[in-house]
Amino acid sequence: MKDLPLADVYQLIEPGPVVLLTTSHRGHANVMTMSWHMMVEFTPPLIACIVSQGDFSFTALRTTKECVIAIPAVEIADKVVKVGNCSGRDVDKFATIGLTPKPAALVAAPLIKECFANLECRVVETRLVNRFNLFVLEVVKAWRDPAQTAPRTIHHQGYGTFAVDGDTLKLPSRMP
């Protein structure tokens, strides 16, 4: 074994796929790239996520208490990275990057047409926001694009490196 710098630990345990989080505040829709999230409950589906106070989306999420988590496939990975490399303070990311906002059913934040799944969410817990920027979201409506039959997700490994979802392994499990 060899020492690993503590700053590199996140590269080993980075959670699930890279997603896009949309918000809408004062009539302005925005989107950010996010990879710090995790499921915390099956039913109702609860997702914990980190949205930094430095992110333009932070104020919108904290104020409106709603968002959409859009899950992109590898085919739009370049757009996902472009979203993460600019700020909604400076640019309309949907128009500039070429993502299509679609109306959601239960929240003001838009769905993203190019993503294979979209999860409409409401903030249900904020006690850890001040200390850790951690929001807990309840998924209140979920959408899936039936045209995208076998989407492969991307997973951030740090410093512009991503792994692409690959083979599926099915083993017996008592979990859902």
Structure tokens at 120: 């409409």
Of the candidates 39, 59, 5, 35, the one whose C-alpha atom is nearest the C-alpha of residue 153 is: 35
Would the pTM of this model clear 0.75, i.e. be above it? yes
Q: From residue 139, how far is each of 25, 118, 124, 163, 168 by CA, in Å? A: 19, 10, 10, 26, 25
Strands 154-158 and 19-25: unpaired
Taking only the tens of pLDDT, the chain with its 176 residues reads 988 888 887 777 766 899 999 999 999 999 999 999 999 999 999 999 999 999 999 999 999 999 999 999 999 999 999 999 999 999 999 999 999 999 999 999 999 999 999 999 999 999 999 999 999 999 999 999 999 999 999 999 888 899 999 888 889 988 76
pLDDT (0 to 100) of residue 169:
85
